[in-house]
Amino acid sequence: MAHSDIICCISKRFEQARESGNLLFFPSTVTKLPALGVEFQIRLCPALQKKPPIPPPDLGAIEADAGIKSDRAEQREKERHDPFCPYDPHLHLGDLQDQDGAEYVVLFNKFSVVPNHFLLVTKEFQLQSSPLMPSDLVQAYSILIAGQKAGQRYFGFYNCGEQSGASQPHKHLQFIPIEDDGPPTERLARSAHLEMADKPFSLPQLPYAHHIFRFPSNLPSSPPAKIEHTLSTAFLNLLDLVFSTIRHATEYPPGKPSYNVILTIDHMHLIPRRTHEYTFPETGETLSVNALGYAGLLLVKSEEQLKAVQSAGVGNILEAVGLTSVHEIQLGEATTEV
């Protein structure tokens, strides 16, 4: 299937899936919160408190089994609860395959807070804690290009590792439509003036560690081999910086590093993560943060949580669940015109 076929009827198919009752849509309201030189969006969705529970996957055991790579381990993996295999056919948008044979299914998010939120899932089970492969990146970017050509803009994100905010261990990237020129932190990245166009950079006004790469402006119309090379090189360079940031961090949790990825037509952002949730000091309540938080889109499930976020400050929350920005180990620092 072509990427454009996934995009073309998405709104109609979203409504069909919703009407069938197989896709659950949770209404929400958005509060804009100016912080760190940009307007963050805090989405309040009380209805999510009634989201049906999904059996928690045994992440530790799955990682251990993947390390063993025996037939028995593979069988055990398959037997565990995996919402993407087998997937719900009512949520199925199509299949994608790249020239090297890597296969994917595209599914609507079953628990949608924004319309047309969909997932790119590896057909065979792969670990969510594994890095993005060139084929993952190319498929994701091709979806963004198809959206752009159809006049529908999306951005992609990937929650990698136990502390990243991911809840499902089967490898999947997610896509959310962008209403305007956002998401918010992408707006900041776009306004950055770079001394060296082909080097990773960070934004001085953001207190948390993050690493961004700007793609050449002609990338969407470049030959496939150039797209693959650019995306893969960018990812590896940014991942190196994530590992380097983590090595400099004190008290980083043991185990595989966790990080978030945000992919737009113009940039790739990687954000190292220390922990998946923020604990409000006054109440001890927690707030889960995934890649969307670092895109500038936080999700809260009650008015109290919204007030608590406003009082704690978005920058403090993102710094606490990520790592403190250490500019001297970064290759480049941008100056922004905001």
Kindly list the residues in this chain that would bind ligand B4P in the complex (CB under 6 A): 43, 48, 54, 83, 88, 91, 107, 109-111, 113-114, 119, 159, 165-168, 174, 288, 290, 292, 297-299
Q: How far is the CB of 86 from ligand B4P (least distance, A)?
A: 10
Residue nearest ligand B4P, Cβ-based: 83
Closest Cα partner for 212 from 298, 315, 331? Answer: 331
Who's near 71: CB < 8 A, 6+ residues apart?
none
- Residue 105 or 227: the one with the smaller Cβ distance to ligand B4P is 105
- Residue 16 or 168: the one with the smaller Cβ distance to ligand B4P is 168
The three-class DSSP label of residue 120 is strand
Q: How far is the CB of 288 from ligand B4P (least distance, A)?
A: 5
Who's near 155: CB < 8 A, 6+ residues apart?
144, 175, 176, 178, 183, 186, 262, 263, 264, 295
- Residue 15 or 198: the one with the smaller Cβ distance to ligand B4P is 15
If you search the block for the tokens 């185990």, which residue do you land on?
Answer: 255
H helices, E strands: number in the chain: 10, 17
Closest Cα partner for 92 from 71, 116, 108? Answer: 108
Could you give the CA distance from residue 285 to residue 263 in angstroms, rounded to a whole number? 31
Q: How far is the CB of 333 from ligand B4P (least distance, A)?
A: 27
Strand duo 335-336 + 192-193: pairing: antiparallel
Strand duo 111-112 + 24-25: pairing: parallel
Q: Do 234 and 213 meet the contact criterion of CB atoms below 8 Å apart?
A: yes
- Find the distance separating the first CA and the last CA of the chain, reported in whole Å: 41
- Residue 83 or 134: the one with the smaller Cβ distance to ligand B4P is 83
Q: How far is the CB of 30 from ligand B4P (least distance, A)?
A: 9
Q: How far is the CB of 130 from ligand B4P (least distance, A)?
A: 14
- Residue 179 or 181: the one with the smaller Cβ distance to ligand B4P is 179
- Residue 192 or 270: the one with the smaller Cβ distance to ligand B4P is 270
Q: How far is the CB of 293 from ligand B4P (least distance, A)?
A: 7
Measured in residues, the chain has a length of: 338
Strand partners, 120: 106, 173
- Residue 293 or 332: the one with the smaller Cβ distance to ligand B4P is 293
- Residue 174 or 330: the one with the smaller Cβ distance to ligand B4P is 174
Who's near 237: CB < 8 A, 6+ residues apart?
200, 213
- 32: phi then psi, degrees, rounded to nearest 5: -90, 135
Q: Do 174 and 158 meet the contact criterion of CB atoms below 8 Å apart?
A: yes
Q: How far is the CB of 322 from ligand B4P (least distance, A)?
A: 15
Q: How far is the CB of 263 from ligand B4P (least distance, A)?
A: 14
